[in-house]
Structure 1
């Protein structure tokens, strides 16, 4: 075999190996993209369910708003509706931003930058949701009491059970549940981030 022919064969083999490497890298990126979305779905699905519950509750309050027959239950009703609608909008938008990270189409640095922006926004939303949830827990009480029982909790005599046990229990449950949700979401976010970091090895 002549030198020119050998060089042509080696060049062709080199091109084939380069194409194969690019194809392998693309397949790895697509697999990481799929795993990444699966991790985010563990956050998205509960949030979608929560969004449905929040929107349903907001609609129910709005449809029965005429039952709120004094200024403080009406104010509580308006605040409840706003918070219940704000929850899903902020949450689903931030999750959607993270899920749009194009792992297969971007390089490692671009992917990491895009992800970091989405993560920062999501963590802000989580923190805001915690405070809004705490506010909602109190403002929705007179609304639900009026809509379900037809009673004004501010006009009724409130028992020692309500002040001494029920409210502290509700606050404790809210704090424990919020921390559990935060920890669960954080674990999935960390797992998604570790998948992105795998790209550095292939970049």
Structure 2
């Protein structure tokens, strides 16, 4: 075998090895992207179901809004409808943004920066939703009582509120801690995936 043939063979093997490395990197990035997206798939499904329920409830309240015959019931109804429409939409948008980060599309450092921004937004919306849920808890019961067919104004008979509010506060605190913990866990797990590709 001559030196030129040996050099040619060596160059071909080198190019083939380089091609294999690129292919392996592409396969690994595709698998990592799939793993990353799957982290958010389950919670996105739950949030989508929740959003459909919230928007359906808001539409029902809107169709029955004429039954809210005092200014304070109308104010409660307006807050409730606004909350039930806007927060689920914002939550789904933030989840979509964090889920759709393309891991292979840019530098790792830039990807991590985009992830950190999206993560902060997702967690901020969750915290805001928790605090606003305490207000919703107070506004939704009078609205529901008035439009449910009983026509009862709970602000005129606040006895039910004294029982309802403490029970709902306990439930809301437990549910909020659990839900926020799930979000923290998922975003931390996704962050760990990103750190693996560094």
TM-score of Structure 1 vs Structure 2, range by shorter chain: over 0.9
1:132-190 Cα distance to aligned partner (Å, 9 max, x none) = 1111111111100101121001122515xx52x43211101001100001111211111
Give the conservation status (yes or no) of the 8 Å contact 1:42–1:188. no
User: Do structure 1's residue 166 and structure 2's residue 164 form an aligned pair?
Assistant: yes
Q: How does 1:1-203 map to 2 (within 5 A)?
A: 1-148=1-148, 149-156=150-157, 158=159, 162-163=161-162, 165-200=163-198
Q: Distance in 1 between matches of 2:172 and 2:76?
A: 19
Structure 1 residues 8 and 100, CA, compared in 2 at 3 Å: closer, same or farther? Answer: same
Q: CA RMSD in A?
A: 1.3
What TM-score does the superposition give when structure 1 sets the normalisation length?
Answer: 0.92
Higher relative contact order (CA 8 A, sep 6+): 1
Q: Distance in 2 between matches of 1:136 and 1:158?
A: 18
Structure 1, unpaired ranges of 5+: none
What TM-score does the superposition give when structure 2 sets the normalisation length?
Answer: 0.95
Q: Distance in 1 between matches of 2:186 and 2:151?
A: 42
Give the conservation status (yes or no) of the 8 Å contact 1:54–1:87. no
Structure 2, unpaired ranges of 5+: none
Give the conservation status (yes or no) of the 8 Å contact 1:91–1:125. yes
- What is the Cα deviation at residue 104 of structure 1? 2.8
- What is the Cα deviation at residue 10 of structure 1? 1.0
